[in-house]
Structure 1
Amino acid sequence: MTAPLSGRQPKAVRSALAVLEEVVAAGPGVTAKEISAALRLPPATTYRLLNLLVADEYLVRLPDLKGFALGRRAARLALPAAPAVPTAARAVVEHLRAQVRWGVHLASFTTGQVVMIDPDPDHPPTAAPVLARFPQASALGRLLLAEQPDWRALVRELRALTPHTVSTRAEVEAALREVESAGWARQLGELHADRGCLAVPIRAPGDGRLVAGLALAGPVARVAEPNGALLDLMREHAERLAPLLA
């Protein structure tokens, strides 16, 4: 059973958040003395909060030990910024939309998450927080997970969103093996029972890094039996997008 908060703990939480805000406002290199003065906190309290935030990787000490900067975990407090989509890339996506009756979505993987950068306005995709939290249940997410040394580092929760969602470790690993073998991904009714999705990777021309994914969303029955011509069309447009997004 979780212990109840004491009367002093909410104040400590607010003070820790204030310290983070001050580091953001002041920029890298701000010192404990400067933070203490700006927030009117006792030096001992400031040092204690800074040590806790450094230990939990929300802050880092700079190499000269004279100041602080935001750490790895602080980046998770904000939604990842979607990169700008070049006009030429949008034109490629629109060209594909004109040739199919599916929803066509373009997603970036440069932030380490599935971030929609050109969602189909006529076929709205699954909400961004759901895609970020359950990448194993989306075709785009599986492209990303299949590239990871350990997919579990990006999957925060295994949950059945529909009766068809992969929701065990063994099922996820089997799905990712399919992606590695086929070179493309799909999901059948795992986010919404009546909808499915196909996705192909977009890789940097120079080193083959996975930078984005191109997805088609449609009825489950059509996704279950994709024809070769459709996949070839997706790959063709993915190749055209690669130099524009790398």
Structure 2
Amino acid sequence: MGERAGPALTARQPGAVHSALSVLEAVAHLGAGVTAQRLSTELGLPRATTYRLLNLLVEDEYLVRTLDLSGFALGAKVAQLAALAAPPARLSSAARAVVDDARRRVRGGVHVVLFVDGRVVVLDADPDFPLSDHARLAREPERYALGRLMLIGDDNARGPAVEAARLDLARWGATRQSGEVTAAAGCLAIPLRDDSGAFAGALGFSGARHRVDEPEATLSALRPAADALAPLVV
């Protein structure tokens, strides 16, 4: 197979490069789910130009389409660049003690994430039960309980997975994903709320599918940890 062609925009097209960066900044500012029409209006760009830039940025994974295909969100490449640029965040000793205790109580992966500018930022992944795919979590948050919890905090988020997550949150106080990425496994996400009550992050669980289909025992073990952890990390 031949090498993939490079991006259509080059340094010889400074106006186009600037417009593409402006689109990225606007998606970050306006949040996941923003439409091409709104971006065109906000940036004062012709609609055809906006669509060309969006398609290019999606192709190169700087943006991703939302699950219902009506809007856009920041993609894996942006998350990777941000992670490289930012110093690694660490749990405080008090937060570490809460997470370590939760991991002793619950057999399976216990993870801590924050929601930052429409993306899932992994603060502490369980070293014994690691997350299956960091890049895919950043690129397709709607496929995971952690990403679904972030998305339902956005009033503009739509789609079957988001609506199902809202129902799960109302019933269980957590979002779920069961057997959709790996047939025998699933995941849960319990909100970490800030002082205003908004979702600022999550305490996640990944493990056997039956523990997600019938989550009460696992959630009962993790809810106290989430309550203790929230004021320490958000």
TM-score by length of 1: 0.63
Deviation beyond 6 Å, 4+ runs, structure 1? none
What is the CA distance between 1:12 and its match in structure 2? 8.0
Structure 2 CA distance for aligned equivalents of residues 53 and 102 of structure 1: 45
Equivalent runs, 1:1-246 vs 2, <5 Å: 13-15=9-11, 49=14, 51-56=15-20, 58-59=21-22, 71-72=25-26, 78=78, 79=80, 80-81=82-83, 83-151=89-157, 169=159, 171-182=160-171, 183-204=173-194, 206-227=195-216, 229-246=217-234
What is the CA distance between 1:59 and its match in structure 2? 4.8
Letter of the structure 2 residue corresponding to residue 93 of structure 1: V
Letter of the structure 2 residue corresponding to residue 55 of structure 1: S
The alignment partner of 2:17 has SS state of helix
Q: Quick one: structure 1 residues 110 and 193, their matched pair in 2 at CA, closer, same or farther if it must change by over 3 Å?
A: same
Query: What is residue 35 of structure 1 aligned with on the other side?
Result: none
Structure 1 stretches lacking a partner, 5+ long: 17-47, 61-69, 153-168
* Contact 2:110 2:125 (C-alpha < 8 Å) held by counterparts: yes
What is the CA distance between 1:232 and its match in structure 2? 2.7
* Contact 2:165 2:176 (C-alpha < 8 Å) held by counterparts: no
Structure 1 CA distance for aligned equivalents of residues 165 and 212 of structure 2: 17
Q: Quick one: structure 1 residues 11 and 230, their matched pair in 2 at CA, closer, same or farther if it must change by over 3 Å?
A: closer
Q: Quick one: structure 1 residues 230 and 73, their matched pair in 2 at CA, closer, same or farther if it must change by over 3 Å?
A: closer
Structure 2 CA distance for aligned equivalents of residues 208 and 225 of structure 1: 26
Letter of the structure 2 residue corresponding to residue 212 of structure 1: G
Identity percentage over the alignment? Answer: 37
Structure 1 CA distance for aligned equivalents of residues 19 and 167 of structure 2: 39
Structure 2 CA distance for aligned equivalents of residues 224 and 71 of structure 1: 39
What RMSD, in angstroms, separates the aligned Cα atoms of the two structures?
2.8
Letter of the structure 2 residue corresponding to residue 200 of structure 1: I
Structure 2 CA distance for aligned equivalents of residues 103 and 12 of structure 1: 41
The alignment partner of 1:85 has SS state of coil
Structure 2 CA distance for aligned equivalents of residues 178 and 73 of structure 1: 27
Letter of the structure 2 residue corresponding to residue 121 of structure 1: P
What is the CA distance between 1:84 and its match in structure 2? 3.3
Letter of the structure 2 residue corresponding to residue 224 of structure 1: D
What is the CA distance between 1:117 and its match in structure 2? 1.4
Q: Quick one: structure 1 residues 180 and 218, their matched pair in 2 at CA, closer, same or farther if it must change by over 3 Å?
A: closer
What is the CA distance between 1:186 and its match in structure 2? 1.0
Letter of the structure 2 residue corresponding to residue 239 of structure 1: D
What is the CA distance between 1:173 and its match in structure 2? 4.1
Structure with the larger RCO, 1 or 2 (CA within 8 Å, 6+ apart): 2
Structure 1 CA distance for aligned equivalents of residues 162 and 196 of structure 2: 26
Structure 1 CA distance for aligned equivalents of residues 170 and 164 of structure 2: 10
Question: Over residues 144-177 of structure 1, what are the superposed CA-to-partner deviations in whole Å (9 max), with x where a residue is unaligned?
Answer: 111112225xxxxxxxxxxxxxxxx3x3243133
